[in-house]
Amino acid sequence: MQSITQELKSLRPHDGINGVETLSNGYQFIETYGHGYLFVPINDTHYQEAKKLCRYGYRGRLGVYLEEDAEAPAFVALLEGDATKMECYLAFVDNF
């Protein structure tokens, strides 16, 4: 876990890490002082989908950090098989 927080710090040096939580689906949620990110590791079976969703988050060597406002909820909707909800979150990002 420390390695993903260190990587996020290197990708976002102007922001500090406030905490890390393991969600019920097993993914790590990293809260910074200014934002939050859902971490999807490079060896995850859904990594490629997460990478495609990552527009405002960060892509690191360990995985992708999906931002909390739309990318992370879109990814969760994808995992739940809810394409309509996923498209709504992505439309939000496109119009932001």
pLDDT in tens, 1-30: 579 989 888 888 888 888 899 987 889 999
Q: What is the pTM of this model?
A: 0.85
Contact in structure between 90 and 67 (CB atoms under 8 Å): no
The residue among 54 and 34 whose pLDDT is bigger is 54
What residue ranges do the domains of the chain occupy?
2-68
CA distance 27 to 88: 22
d(CA 3, CA 93): 28
